[in-house]
Amino acid sequence: MDFITTNGAALLFYLFAFLAVGAAVMVITLRNPVYSAISLLVTFLSVAALFLLRNAEFVAVVQIFVYGGGVMVLFLFVIMLVNLHRLREIQIFGVQWPVAAAIGFLFVVIIGLVVVTSSFGPLNPSPERLVDVDGEALGNSEAVAWMLYREYFVPFEIVSLFLLVAMIGAVVLARKE
């Protein structure tokens, strides 16, 4: 019991990390797109839990809302829209999959070597800055909103414009002639 309480954060990290990686592997290996979509949902929710472990409560909730809600509904809707019975692929992977898998493995090894040999200094040197709103410790959502509307206001407006353009583009693309 002591082991669980003292290493709780690490155990939760490994639980959700393996859940995320396992579900991600299932996304690209399963034949039925509906199963892939459900695995993708598991990955999204595990990553949201990992965000919570890094004191990013607002981003974790946005992740669940946008990915777990919006994007997932979009994927499932399109999977139902296209006729799955005609999609019976004989081979789900292209012929180049061994090369791609080798390059992916090499990528992980290289990044791993770089990450393991580098150091980043003390972890979370001033935790109060993650909840700070104008000198007052209010909370993570308030702090993110404060920063978003004061320092990143123009990018925020550009993103809203981008979403409008994406919405119109999606409607125009999917419309019947």
162 binds other proteins (CB under 8 A): yes
- In terms of Cβ atoms closer than 10 Å to its own Cβ (0-12, 13-18, 19+), residue 103 is exposed
Torsion sign, CA atoms 130, 131, 136, 142: positive
Binding mask 48-77 for other proteins (x = CB under 8 A): --xx-xxxx-xx--xx--xx--xx--xx--
Counting residues that bind other proteins (by CB under 8 A) gives 90
- Residues in Cβ contact with 72 at an 8 Å cutoff, skipping those fewer than 6 apart: 37, 40, 41, 44
The letter for the amino acid at 98 is: P
CB of 1 to other proteins, least distance (A): 16
138 binds other proteins (CB under 8 A): no
1 binds other proteins (CB under 8 A): no
> Tokens in use for 34?
């509906």
* Sites for other proteins among residues 86-115 (CB under 8 A): 86-87, 89, 91-94, 96-97, 100-101, 103-105, 107-108, 111-112, 115
